[in-house]
Structure 1
Amino acid sequence: MVKGIVLAFLAFAVFAWGDAVVKAIGHDLDPFEVTFFGYLIPLLLSPAFMKSGDRLSDLIRWKRPWPMALRVFFISVTTPLSVMTFTRLPFAEAFALLFLMPSLVTVLSIVVLKEKVRWRRGLAVVAAFIGVLVIVRPGFREFLPGHLYAIATALCGAGGVIMGRMIGTTEKRYTLIGSVFLGTALIAGILMIPGFIWPTATQWGLLLAFAATAFVAQALFIVATIYAPADRLGATQYSQILWALAIGTLFFDEWPDALALLGIAIVVAAGLFIFAREQTLKKNPSQAAPLAPPEQLGTLSSSLQSE
C-alpha cells in the first residue's frame, strides 16, 4: 500500500512539472501544436501498456462505441484547453480552478447517472463554487479568458469521468489509455494546421519534455495501482497544488494573494471531502455510483487520465 501511494505522489509530481513545461512554452506555439507533439510520442510508446493478447487494433476496437467516443472526445479536448489555461493564468490559480472537476462530476452524476447525492456532498459542491468565486472575484478583478478555459477544462474532464463510469470495466486497459493518446493527437493535429509554426530547437526540447512527462507519469500511476487500490490513490492528486505553489513562486515569480490562497484552500478542501465521502459511500454499494479504474477516467491537464 505504502509503495503504491509513494508512486502515485511521484506520478502527480511529474504531471505537475509537465504542466510547468507547458507554461514555459508560453504563447510562442499554438496550443493545439503543443498538444499534438506532446501526445504523439506517448501514442507511439503506448504499446508499452499492452498486456498479453492485446493488439494495436484495440485502439479503435471498442465494445461500447458511443460512451467511448464521448470519453475520448472529452479527455482529448482537456489538454489543449489546459494549455491555454496555464499560459494565461498564474500556475496555482489555474490548478485550483481545474480542481473544480470533482464538484462538477458530482453535479453531472446527478443529471446523467441519476445518482442520489446527500446534503454533505451537496454542501461540498457549493463550497467549491464559493472557492472559485473567491479566486476569480468577479466584479473586483478582471475575468480573463484563462478563467473560462480553466472552467471548460474542468467541465470536459468531468464529462470524461462520467463516461468512464458508464463504460465500467468493459474495455481493455490498453484501449482506454491508447485511445486517449490517439484521439488527442488526432484532434490536436487537425486543429493545429492553421496556426502551425515550426518549433525552434529550444521549443523542441520543451515539447519532448512535455511528451516525456505525459508518458512517464501515466506509467508511474499504473504501476502504483499494482501496489494499492486505484480508488485509494485519488487523493494524492491534490498534492499537485503544492507543486503548483512552489513552481509558480520559484520559476514564474507568481505570488498568490491572501484571498487567492483562501479560495485555493476552499476548492481543494471541498474536492478532498467529496473524494473521502465517495470512499465512505463505496462501502455501501447501494448508495454509491460505481467508480471506474483510473485509466478509464478523465485530469487535470495530462493527469485527467489518471483521475
Structure 2
Amino acid sequence: MVKGIVLAFLAFAVFAWGDAIVKEIGHGLDPFEVTFFGYLIPLILSPVFMKRGDSLVDLVRWNRPWLMGLRVFLIAATTPLSVMAFRSLPFAEAFAILFLMPSLVTVLSIFILKEHVRWRRGLAVCAAFIGVLVIVRPGFREFLPGHLAALMAALCAAGGVITGRMIGHTEKRFTLIGTVFLATTVLAGVLMIPGFAWPTAHQWVLLLAFAATAFAAQALFIVATIYAPADRLGAAQYSQILWALAIGALFFDEWPDALALLGIAIVVAAGLFIFAREQTLKRGRPDAVPLPETVPPAPAATSTPH
C-alpha cells in the first residue's frame, strides 16, 4: 500500500510539471496543436499498457459504443481546455478551478445517476463553489477566458467520470486508457488545422517534454494501482496544488494574494472531504461495484482520478 501511495504522489508530481511545460509554451502555439503533439507520442506508446488477450482493435471495439463515445469526447475536450486555462491564468489558480471537478461529479451524480447525496457532501460542494468565487472574485477582478476554460475543463472531466461509472466493467482497461490518447490526438489534430504553425526548435523540445510527462505520469499511476486500489489513491492528486504554488512562484513569478490562497484552501479542503466521505460510504456498501478505471483521464497533464 505504501509503495502505491508513494508512486501515486510521484505520478501527480510529474503531471504538475507537465502542466508547467504547457504554461511555458505559452501563446506561441495553438492549444490544439500543443494537445495534439502532447498526446501523439503517448498514443504511439500506448500498446505497453496492453495485457494478454488485448489487441489494437480494442481501441475501437467498444461494448457500449454510445457511452464510450461520449466519454472519450468529454475527456478529449478536457485537455485543450486545460491548456487554455494554464496559458492565461496563474498556475495555482488554474489548478484550483480544475479541482472543482469532484464537486461537479457529486452534482452530476444526483441528476444523472440518481444518487442520494447527504447534507455533509452537499455542504462541501457549496464550499467548493464558494472557494472558486473567492479565487475569481467576479465583479472585482477581470473574468478571463482562462477562467471559463478551466470551469469547462472541470465540467468535461466530471462528465468523463460519470460516464465511466455508467460504463462499469464492460470495457477492457487498455480500451479505457488507449481511447483517451486516441480521441484526444484525433480531436486536437482536426481542430489545430486552422491555427497550425510549425514549432520552433525550442518549442519541439517543450512539446516532447510534455508528451514524455503525460506518458510517464500515466504509467506511474498504473504501476501505483498494482500496490494499492486506484480509488484509494485519489487524494494524492491534491499534492499538485503544492507543486503549482511552488512552480508558479519560482518559475513564473506568480505569488497568489491572501484571498486567492484562502479560495484555494477552501476548494482543496472541500475536495478532500468529498473524497473521504465517498470512501467512508463505499466501505459501508461492500457490495458496491468498484469504479472501472485504473488510470486517470488527464486534463492537460492534470489527472482526475475517481
Q: What band does the TM-score fall into relative to the shorter chain?
A: over 0.9
1:271-286 matches, cutoff 5 A? 271-285=271-285
Question: Would the aligned equivalents of 2:85 and 2:149 in 1 still touch at CA under 8 Å?
Answer: yes
CA spacing shift, 1:300–1:184, aligned 2, 3 Å: closer
Q: In the alignment, what sits opposite 1:110?
A: 110
Q: In the alignment, what sits opposite 1:32?
A: 32
Question: Would the aligned equivalents of 1:127 and 1:270 in 2 still touch at CA under 8 Å?
Answer: yes
Q: In the alignment, what sits opposite 1:251?
A: 251
Per-residue deviation at 1:298? 3.8
Per-residue deviation at 1:306? 4.1
Question: Would the aligned equivalents of 1:164 and 1:297 in 2 still touch at CA under 8 Å?
Answer: no
* Pairing 1:127–2:123 present: no
Question: Would the aligned equivalents of 2:218 and 2:296 in 1 still touch at CA under 8 Å?
Answer: no
Q: How many residues align?
A: 306
Q: Distance in 2 between matches of 1:240 and 1:290?
A: 28
Give per-residue Cα distances to partners, 1:166-205, cap 9 Å, x unaligned: 0111111110000110000000000000000000000000
- With normalisation by structure 1, the TM-score equals 0.97
Q: Distance in 1 between matches of 2:285 and 2:109?
A: 15
Give per-residue Cα distances to partners, 1:59-85, cap 9 Å, x unaligned: 000011111111100000100000000
1:146-295 matches, cutoff 5 A? 146-285=146-285, 290-295=289-294
Question: Would the aligned equivalents of 1:164 and 1:298 in 2 still touch at CA under 8 Å?
Answer: no
In the TM superposition, structure 1's runs of 4+ consecutive aligned residues that sit over 2 Å from their partners are 288-291, 293-307
Q: Distance in 2 between matches of 1:46 and 1:301?
A: 17
- With normalisation by structure 2, the TM-score equals 0.97
State the secondary structure of the residue aligned to 1:36. helix
Which blocks of at least 5 consecutive residues in structure 1 are unaligned? none
- Identity among equivalent positions (%) equals 79
Question: Would the aligned equivalents of 1:218 and 1:306 in 2 still touch at CA under 8 Å?
Answer: no
Question: Would the aligned equivalents of 1:75 and 1:305 in 2 still touch at CA under 8 Å?
Answer: no
Q: Distance in 1 between matches of 2:243 and 2:256?
A: 14
Question: Would the aligned equivalents of 1:76 and 1:184 in 2 still touch at CA under 8 Å?
Answer: yes
Per-residue deviation at 1:303? 3.3
Per-residue deviation at 1:259? 0.1
CA spacing shift, 1:290–1:137, aligned 2, 3 Å: farther
Question: Would the aligned equivalents of 1:230 and 1:293 in 2 still touch at CA under 8 Å?
Answer: no
Question: Would the aligned equivalents of 1:165 and 1:297 in 2 still touch at CA under 8 Å?
Answer: no
| Letter matched to residue 90 of structure 1 | P
